Structure 1
Amino acid sequence: MEEGCSTLVRKLEQKYLDDDDAIVGDIIFTGFTGCSPCKMASQRALELLVLNNMNIGTIGDPEKLATLASHVSEADLGWNQISQWSDVACILENLPHLRVLNIGHNPLNPVIDHELPVSNMHTIILNGTNLPFKTLQTLLAVLPNVSELHMSDNQFNDDDNCLSPISTSVRTIHLNRCGFQKWSSVMNVVKRFPNVCSVFVCENPLKDVIHCKQFDQLPYWKFLNLAKTAIDSWSSLDDLSKMTTITDLRIPNIPLLDPFTNEERSHLIIGRIHHLLVLNGSKISNEQREQSERFFIRYYQEQKEKPSQYKTLIAKHGNLEKLVNIDLTPKNEAIVKLVCEEKDVSKEITISLEPTILEFMKFLEQKCGVKYTRMKLFLFRNDGRCEDFSSSSYNMPLHYFKIEDGDMFMVQEKIVVTKRRRPPSSTSSSS
């Protein structure tokens, strides 16, 4: 243990035991409760243990750990100074109900030099530990039920000669901020988990995605998160369209899509990757898919270079007539009619569509003389539809309601009924 470091047991006692109990050296002084700290911690059935960034270098008394933390199911020990695998073994031995363990950003020895007991945990976090593949393989061999593995903030060696699978139980793997620049580097890690279903590679300087043979050997891979990567070419999306098992894709905040609106981005991705069921967390309906495919056809009609998906969609929808150039950016203003019969107001005004409904009602108070607190507001559209605004919509912006030039706002003043005083009781005595 590094000089100046504390033990896990000491930090556990300091954080979770009753303030009435003093701990001096190895002696526990019990307060007026008449109950030892060990007994209290056991009775409280501590399940979540959070001791991150506490300069913990070793475990301390293992028997005391077993007593204090026997019910712990989640332990967060990230950003400490744990380096010895004997300490990791002590944690696994004395926390029998452990299901989630975070030992990320600890200076763990790159070689496991101590026998580790088998544990039934399902999630382990190893962010920032930079463990070699062989060490990961040895560790996960004693964690046969781990389905979620966090290995973000790690540096991986493409030349690592560990060829056999690291784990067949892992279904979700997090590889965020690992410095990946090439897709082959990502696959060099993911291919070692043959039953993987979900992969996170966010915030990597990754410029491309390339369909390869290793991907075809991962039949259960359905989810991919590429948020905040450096993808800047349509060829990456073309290759994603060849990865037909991936049905759930998250790809926000990439340079390729910066010039487009959110609506255009969705259309161009869905039109290009036909097998997607979920995009950026939203399910793709049949109506949405058809709209996107039609947008995709019209977008590439006038362009010389057309993607391979274009012919497929033409065969499905036919040649579509070119639409009038439509500005998809939201309108900032609208010319509407304002009517308030009680105040004899009927005029045309130009309004901003940025304010909320409540702010708009305060604006109308100046125009028609009805206090916004007593105002009922109705919108009559050009097509004959009418809607009124309830308090639940007051914080929503006007542009959300797609107001067009020529629409009419009608203001009515609420009728306030004054409560009548109850007459004095006829039975009251008089003198």
Structure 2
Amino acid sequence: MLHFASSICDREEQQAQDPSPAAQRCYGETEMEPPCGRSFMQVLCEKYSPENFPYRRGPGAGVHVPPGPQVSPMKDRLNLPSILVLNSCGISHAGDESEIAAFCSHVSELDLSGNKLDNWQEVSKIVSNVPQLEFLNLSSNPLQASILERECAGTFSGIRKLVLNNCKVSWETVHTLLLELPELEELFLCLNDYENVVSSPGCFHSLKLLHITDNNLQDWSDICKLGTMFPCLHTLVLANNNILAIDDLAGSLARLFPNLRSISLHKSGINSWEDIEKLNTLPMLEEVRLLGIPLVEPYSTEERRKLTIARLPSVSKLNGSVVTEGEREDSERFFVRYYMNVPKEEVPLRYQELVRKYGKLEPLAEVDLRPQNQANVHIHYEEKVQQINVRLDQTVAEFKKQLKTVVQLSTNNMRLFYLDREAPYGLEELKFSLRALHSYNVRDGVEFYVEPKIK
């Protein structure tokens, strides 16, 4: 094991066993209660030791620790990238803060998901010693019972992207963080069992993207609170919440979400086309995701997409796929024809708008393009002609078996010719036993000639 990594681990084990006040202050523990689990610094040394993470040399390759205000004499023995992934490593506390500062001064992204961090003070000890940190993932750490003091939250001030999925953190904790993160642009609050949204005393203009999927939100009034808190949102992901309806009282959507470009209502409870049409009041909306909602279940895949596109004239991307100009016109024409014979009281307002655009369209002619399954054909053998019905999906070999009882010849002693009088080629022998009859363009009235093989 790397000497430096071992020395840090040994020192931490000694401090954990030492009931001295200094050791207690370092770990924030009460007397005789050493920290459980592994320290951030211990895991860092093990994972990124030269043995496990060799330094690579050459242009554009390798990782290094640039000089910082606090430099460890052993810094050249540990190779750290600027993006650290320490997920599911059993981390429960920070460890030696001076060593974190020495080795992590250049780190910009840190993934601590799936660890055992249950105290915001320990998280703060790590973050406060990573001055360049912009991305922090704390997903699936048991932080729900820990109280976050505002002074502690101040150490997160430089973070731009924060992931708190499945941490079960309270809205009070979220508000405390938001007050201290003036540059936060992306926030992930998924899987936190939220049944409602608690309003914050202030609003936060820096946030552009909010993922709050897989919670228990139902009432649109809670979504309005998000608009009040985050007036500059570009992207709002509400998937897997049981939102039943969209309200636009007094033009609230445009007022609360003036910059929203993308919204996901995937697997929500929306069950009304009128609710979908309310999204048109969002002035900047470009992308919508609406898969898995009760509203579209009765429709075919084609109907779902075309009826939705026709109702959302400003949307340029639906369910992840770009809406081209051609597809939009096809969808709008489809929409007009779809509702042209519907009772007046059931015709949506959008229908009249599109009739003014395209006029009253004629119904499309129904053309069955499916291949013919059977045909009545004439069989010529010797001086006889017999009409039979044949399946066109069968092979030439199977057709010959069918003809055995008609011409009284074995299949091995049978030559079979096909005559299409509309074609200029004359008789064509069917030589390929595995070829299907429909590939010869067989249809009603064509003629087959059977001859015995000459021995």
TM-score normalised per structure 1 = 0.68
Decide whether aligned partners of structure 1 residues 187 and 130 sit closer, same or farther in structure 2, where only a CA change above 3 A counts: farther
1:126 and 2:161 aligned: no
Aligned to 2:39: 7
Aligned to 2:302: 263
Aligned to 1:76: 111
Give the drift of 1:157. 6.0
Give the drift of 1:37. 6.5
Q: Greater helix share, 1 or 2?
A: 2
Aligned to 2:135: 100
Give the drift of 1:122. 2.0
Give the secondary structure class of the aligned counterpart of 2:281.
Answer: coil
Give the secondary structure class of the aligned counterpart of 1:179.
Answer: coil
Q: 1:139 aligns with which of 177, 185, 199?
A: 177
Decide whether aligned partners of structure 1 residues 199 and 126 sit closer, same or farther in structure 2, where only a CA change above 3 A counts: same
Aligned to 1:276: 315
Decide whether aligned partners of structure 1 residues 274 and 294 sit closer, same or farther in structure 2, where only a CA change above 3 A counts: same
2:165 alignment partner AA = N
Q: 2:288 aligns with which of 232, 246, 249?
A: 249
Identical residues among aligned pairs (%): 28
1:40 and 2:77 aligned: yes
With 120-129 and 204-213 compared, the bigger mean Cα shift is at 204-213
Contact 2:197 2:225 in 1 (8 A): no
Give the secondary structure class of the aligned counterpart of 1:259.
Answer: coil
Q: Deviations over 1:18-42 (max 9, x none)?
A: 3499xxxxxxxxxxxxx9874232x
Aligned to 1:410: none
1:170-319 aligned at under 5 Å gives the runs 170-212=207-249, 213-217=251-255, 218-304=257-343, 305-319=346-360
- Quote the Cα distance in structure 2 between the aligned partners of 1:175 and 1:72: 27
With 205-214 and 291-300 compared, the bigger mean Cα shift is at 205-214
- Quote the Cα distance in structure 1 between the aligned partners of 2:367 and 2:304: 16
Q: Deviations over 1:277-312 (max 9, x none)?
A: 211222222221111111001111121211111111
Aligned to 1:16: 48
1:322 and 2:359 aligned: no
Decide whether aligned partners of structure 1 residues 46 and 40 sit closer, same or farther in structure 2, where only a CA change above 3 A counts: farther
Contact 1:277 1:284 in 2 (8 A): yes
Give the drift of 1:13. 1.6
Aligned to 2:26: none
Where do 5+ consecutive residues of structure 2 fail to align? 1-28, 54-71, 375-389, 400-437, 443-455
Give the drift of 1:194. 0.9
1:11 alignment partner AA = V
- Quote the Cα distance in structure 1 between the aligned partners of 2:296 and 2:439: 29
2:362 alignment partner AA = E
1:69 alignment partner AA = C
Contact 1:18 1:37 in 2 (8 A): no
2:310 alignment partner AA = G
Aligned to 2:7: none
Give the secondary structure class of the aligned counterpart of 1:288.
Answer: helix
Q: Deviations over 1:310-355 (max 9, x none)?
A: 111111111111223568xx96x6779xxxxxxxxxxx99569xxx
2:287 alignment partner AA = D
Q: Deviations over 1:190-238 (max 9, x none)?
A: 4311110100111222222232444222210110012222322223212
- Quote the Cα distance in structure 2 between the aligned partners of 1:80 and 1:236: 41
Give the secondary structure class of the aligned counterpart of 1:57.
Answer: strand
Give the drift of 1:268. 0.2
Give the secondary structure class of the aligned counterpart of 1:249.
Answer: strand
- Quote the Cα distance in structure 2 between the aligned partners of 1:214 and 1:315: 29
- Quote the Cα distance in structure 1 between the aligned partners of 2:393 and 2:192: 53
- Quote the Cα distance in structure 2 between the aligned partners of 1:267 and 1:158: 34
- Quote the Cα distance in structure 1 between the aligned partners of 2:125 and 2:171: 23
1:87 alignment partner AA = E
The structure whose Rg is larger is 2
Q: Deviations over 1:360-398 (max 9, x none)?
A: xxx99x99xxxxxxxxxxxxxxxxxxxxxxxxxxxxxxx
Contact 2:106 2:130 in 1 (8 A): yes
Give the drift of 1:406. 5.2
- Quote the Cα distance in structure 2 between the aligned partners of 1:197 and 1:159: 19
Give the drift of 1:261. 2.9
1:223 alignment partner AA = S
Decide whether aligned partners of structure 1 residues 161 and 141 sit closer, same or farther in structure 2, where only a CA change above 3 A counts: closer
TM-score normalised per structure 2 = 0.65
- Quote the Cα distance in structure 2 between the aligned partners of 1:4 and 1:268: 57
Contact 2:197 2:223 in 1 (8 A): no
Q: Deviations over 1:39-59 (max 9, x none)?
A: 232xx3422212222232211
Decide whether aligned partners of structure 1 residues 253 and 191 sit closer, same or farther in structure 2, where only a CA change above 3 A counts: same
Decide whether aligned partners of structure 1 residues 260 and 74 sit closer, same or farther in structure 2, where only a CA change above 3 A counts: same
Give the drift of 1:244. 3.9
